[in-house]
Amino acid sequence: MSLRARKWIRVGFAGPGAFIIALVIMAGMALWLPQGAAQIDNLVLPLILFPLIWAALFFHACLDGKLGRVAVVALGLCVIHAGLVANKFMSKPAVHPAAAHEAKS
């Protein structure tokens, strides 16, 4: 791969890639963080940590010497958290038998 192509791939991971992956991580964090005493810690903490997540992805993409490692880390985090979000939306809530009976009527 040419040096120019590698540079643009790195720019993609450092620019829009870091922002999009940080958004996906933020959405997935709400599913694995504990809720806390006020029941909102799992929602507020990802919002507060978003700039830190973005900065970590940005600097990792800029400073790591191996582009393959940047891709594996960034895409791995994205796939894991996107899978968590997809699993949450794909799982159907359990229906109480009384509610199912009322729906038939």
Q: Which residue has the higher pLDDT, 45 or 23?
A: 23
User: What sign does the CA torsion over 93, 99, 101, 103 have?
Assistant: negative
Q: Which pLDDT value is given to residue 69?
A: 95
What is the extent of the structural domain holding 69? 3-104
pLDDT surpassing 70 at residue 104: no
Q: What's the half-sphere exposure (Cβ side, CA atoms, 13 Å) at 105? A: 6
Global pTM exceeds 0.85? no
Contacts of 13 (CB under 8 A, 6+ apart): 57, 61, 70, 71, 74
Closest among 88, 74, 73 to 27, alpha carbons compared = 88
Q: Which pLDDT value is given to residue 45?
A: 87
pLDDT surpassing 70 at residue 97: no
Copy the structure tokens of residue 97: 């038998």
**What is the mean pLDDT of the segment spanning 50-56?**
96
Copy the structure tokens of residue 50: 């978003």
pLDDT surpassing 80 at residue 26: yes
Q: Which pLDDT value is given to residue 77?
A: 96
**What is the mean pLDDT of the segment spanning 25-37?**
87
* Domains held by the chain: number: 1
Q: What's the half-sphere exposure (Cβ side, CA atoms, 13 Å) at 86? A: 6
